[in-house]
Amino acid sequence: MNKVQNSALKPAQIDSVVLLINDSKGSFAQKERQLRALSFYDYIDQYIYPVMRFGTVAVEYTAPSATIRKSICSPKRL
Task: Tell me the pLDDT tens digit for each residue of 42-74.
Answer: 999 998 877 766 777 788 888 877 666 655 555
Contact 27, 21 (CB under 8 A): no
For the stretch 3-46, pLDDT in tens is: 888 888 999 999 999 999 888 888 989 998 999 999 999 999 99
Query: Kind and range of the H or E element at 35?
Result: helix 28-36
Torsion angle defined by CA atoms of residues 20, 21, 27 and 30, in that order, rounded to the nearest 10 degrees: 40
Domain range list for the chain? 1-78
Cβ count within 10 A of residue 52: 11
Q: Cβ distance 13 to 28 under 8 Å?
A: no
* CA atoms in the 13 A half-sphere facing the CB of 6: 5
